Structure 1
């Protein structure tokens, strides 16, 4: 079985702008085997801290850009670089967060239960929402949330979780992709993200945001507590693409427009998924 994802990008009024587009990421469940773009010319740019690649697209004037991904079921696992942290404003934990994470971990009997406790602790800090002001806006490190509930999206929740896990000494990675809810029949509106941990060779996946959306703070490992399916696009936070002037960008997932000064702006996109028995060769 193959999964085909098509992302259509509407033209930008500034015809000098280019798009940055992730090319797909292998996981234990899927491996990307084909990537294609129509409606524009593209080259590949390397990210300097993780080694992953992205496509930089110069659209043909006035045309939509269509990006096609094909994934094959069964994967080789997450790349090792997923678990290697780069220290920046999106990943650096404040001292109070470091101390709090270590205290939680030290009360547990082993690393696996410590990871579960840190996941549950992060879930207790958030109410799922898309706030105009994020809990770490304007901060040079990930702040400790001491009391009450902060509003946060999957991006915010997983920023806090990754910082907590790494502060306590555990391997953790931040994954971006698309999630297709069962009820939307192969459509989704935007990106999604989740966390993977690796301890003593055991890799576990966590999706706090979907548990919160389903009304529970009792978090279990594993993907898709909310029925649906997903594909992975890229990983890590605080990304550098020097070829196009991007410095310490929070993440890449959906196609985004690159400004002259390397800032990213949201693109007008539509996202669809299909299943097929055959796929084009890579």
Structure 2
């Protein structure tokens, strides 16, 4: 099975800007085998905290850019670097969150039960939404949510979950990519993210946001509780690209324009997927 993902990027008013694009990462389910850019010249730039490489694209002119990924079914697993803890404001748990996570984990019969309990606890904190103000905006650490429901997207929910898991001493990785809902016939509107845990040699995948969108807080491990398919493009939070003066950027997923001051600006995108059966 081959999965092709094409991201068409509308030109920017400032044709001197460059586009920063993740190049894809492997999972247990897929491996990226091709990455191509049409409509611009591409070079590579390195992310200094994880070792990931990203494409830096200079548009040829005023026509749309086309970013093309090709994934083959079956993969070697998630990158080891995704599980490595790195302290920054998107991953550092506030002390109250550390205490809560440790208490939840210690009350369980073993590591896998503790991971499930931490996932359930994170799910109980959120109502799925895309608030303008995030629960950790302006904070140098991930705050503890003590009561009530907090509005949050997949990014917000997984920020909290990763901080909780790592605070309790578990290996966890934050993965970004695209999810294509079954009912949209190979289209999606923006990026998606999920969490993977690794304990005693077992890797489990978690997608709280999709469970909440389906109206349940009974969270099961595994991908695509909401029918569809996905690809992974990058991992981790708090990314730094020294060549571009980008420091501790929250995440890398969709192509973004790099402004002269190192800030990033969303691009106007059209995202499509096609699947080919090689048999």
TM-score range, shorter chain: over 0.9
Structure 2 equivalent of residue 42 of structure 1: 42
Is residue 86 from structure 1 mapped to residue 118 from structure 2 by the alignment? Answer: no
Q: CA deviation at 1:244?
A: 1.2
- Post-superposition Cα deviations, 1:106-151, rounded to whole Å, max 9, x if no partner, equal 0000000000000000000000000010000000000000000000
Structure 2 equivalent of residue 150 of structure 1: 150
Alignment: residue pair count: 278
Structure 2 equivalent of residue 163 of structure 1: 163
Structure 2 equivalent of residue 225 of structure 1: 225
Q: CA deviation at 1:95?
A: 0.2
- In structure 2, what is the Cα distance between the partners aligned to 1:6 and 1:15? 22
Local SS of the residue matching 1:33:
strand
* Normalised TM-score (structure 1): 0.98
The residue correspondences of 1:232-271 to structure 2 (distance < 5 A) are 232-271=232-271
Q: CA deviation at 1:277?
A: 3.9
When the two chains are superposed, the root-mean-square deviation of aligned CA atoms in Å is 0.6
* Structure 2 residues not aligned, in runs of 5+: none
Q: CA deviation at 1:239?
A: 0.2
Structure 1 equivalent of residue 207 of structure 2: 207
- In structure 1, what is the Cα distance between the partners aligned to 2:82 and 2:39? 31
- In structure 2, what is the Cα distance between the partners aligned to 1:112 and 1:277? 35
Is residue 124 from structure 1 mapped to residue 127 from structure 2 by the alignment? Answer: no
- In structure 2, what is the Cα distance between the partners aligned to 1:8 and 1:159? 28
Local SS of the residue matching 2:143:
coil
Local SS of the residue matching 1:82:
helix
Is residue 115 from structure 1 mapped to residue 120 from structure 2 by the alignment? Answer: no
Structure 2 equivalent of residue 181 of structure 1: 181
- In structure 1, what is the Cα distance between the partners aligned to 2:211 and 2:42? 38
Structure 1 equivalent of residue 4 of structure 2: 4
Structure 2 equivalent of residue 141 of structure 1: 141
Structure 1 equivalent of residue 194 of structure 2: 194
Q: CA deviation at 1:26?
A: 0.2
- Post-superposition Cα deviations, 1:50-83, rounded to whole Å, max 9, x if no partner, equal 0011000111121111000000000000010010
Q: CA deviation at 1:86?
A: 1.2
* Normalised TM-score (structure 2): 0.99
- In structure 2, what is the Cα distance between the partners aligned to 1:75 and 1:111? 26
Local SS of the residue matching 1:56:
strand
Q: CA deviation at 1:196?
A: 0.1
Q: CA deviation at 1:14?
A: 1.0
- In structure 1, what is the Cα distance between the partners aligned to 2:182 and 2:63? 31
- In structure 2, what is the Cα distance between the partners aligned to 1:245 and 1:42? 19
* Structure 1 residues not aligned, in runs of 5+: none
Structure 1 equivalent of residue 71 of structure 2: 71
Structure 2 equivalent of residue 104 of structure 1: 104
Local SS of the residue matching 2:272:
strand
- In structure 1, what is the Cα distance between the partners aligned to 2:238 and 2:26? 20
- In structure 2, what is the Cα distance between the partners aligned to 1:94 and 1:149? 18
